[in-house]
Amino acid sequence: MPYFRITLMRSAIGLPSKTHGVLAALGLKKRMATVYHPVSSSVAGQIMRIKELVDVKEVEHAMTKDEMRAARRPDPGYYVEKRDAKVRREREGVEGLAV
């Protein structure tokens, strides 16, 4: 199912309250925020109201906020090779008790 990927590029400060209303309805609260809405004529009409303020792209899948953040997260660049000796002994001790 295709979605509109809508990013608010320009602020609505100084614009009429109806324009603010459209942005609120779409869920765009801050500049550079991105929201996904399914492609439909009603959403298209909302976009037409604020077309000068947004950048729109059509995509197949919608991403959640966490997914968008994760897409920007870089590689950690490390992994733990060896735990501290005391911590390892504690862990082994617990496993021994569990058995």
Partner 1 sequence: MLARTARRSLLETRSALPPTFLLPFRASITTVSHTLETGNVPDPLIHSGHHISQELKSKVQNRDNFPELAPLSTSPKPSPRAAHARDDAVIRDLTPSIRELLPLLHSQPAHYLTIHIHGHPYLITQGDEIRLPFLMPRVKPGDVLRLNRATHIGSRDYTLKAPEAQKGTRDAPKKIFYLDDRLFVCRATVVGIEQEPLRVMEKTKRRQRHIKHVKSQHRFTVLKISDVEVKSLEEYEGLLDRR
Draw the binding track, 9-38, toward partner 1 (x: CB under 8 A; -: no contact).
x----------------------x-x----
- Closest to partner 1 by CB, 14 vs 56, is 56
Beta strands, E only, 13-62: 34-38, 54-59
Burial of 47 (0-12, 13-18, 19+ CB in 10 A): middle
Spatial separation of the C-alpha atoms in residues 20 and 25, rounded to whole Å? 9
- Least Cβ distance, residue 97 to partner 1 (angstroms): 21
- Of 12-20, 22-30, 49-57, 91-99, the window that binds partner 1 (rule: CB under 8 A) is 49-57
Residue linked to tokens 């733990």: 80
Draw the binding track, 64-93, toward partner 1 (x: CB under 8 A; -: no contact).
---xx-xxxxxxxxxxxxxxxxxx------
CA angle (95 as vertex; 92, 99 as ends), nearest 5: 140
Which chain residues interact with partner 1 by CB under 8 A?
A: 2, 4, 7, 9, 32, 34, 39, 41, 44, 48, 55-58, 63, 67-68, 70-87
